[in-house]
Amino acid sequence: MRIAIASDHAAVDLKATLRDYLIELGHEVADLGPETADRVDYPDYGYLLGSVVADGTADYGVALCGSGIGISMAVNRNPACRCALVSEPLSAALAREHNNANCIAMGARLTGIDMAKACLDAFLSTEFGGGRHAGRVEKLSNPPA
């Protein structure tokens, strides 16, 4: 799979660890930055991640910041993105199965490395369930005017 990963300064270390983990699993990974812990604005990286998932450059996105909240909001500004903030594997799996999430967000200050890896594993190994969920997911990408 082609996976893009981005963070803010608070999650740069977790991003590097998860990037390397995804590469070890055999995924093609695009690290969208930042490269250092110098202060940056999470919306910039959330918007960038959303754009590469929306245009098909990446199949999935991984968004990280201190809490995961701000960057997930930025990613979700793109109507083609469904970014789920998760903190454990069940919510990661349900985000894929019920909501066809194409991005996952986590908080570096709230989620340890092993739990973050478990969330990624659950997210990437779960298929969208379709069926009764399909119409709801379609509405997420096409809100009323």
Can you tell me the distance from the alpha carbon of 115 to that of 20, in angstroms, rounded to the nearest whole number? Answer: 15
Tokens of 127: 């298929």
pLDDT 10s digits, 114-123: 999 999 999 9
The answer to whether the bond into 34 is cis (omega within 30° of 0) is: yes
Domain that holds residue 68: 2-141
How high is the pLDDT of residue 140?
85
Instruction: CATH number of the domain at 82, please.
Output: 3.40.1400.10
pLDDT above 80 (res 76): yes
pTM of the model: 0.96
Q: Which residues are catalytic?
A: 65, 98
Give the number of domains in the chain.
1
What SS3 state is found at 140? helix
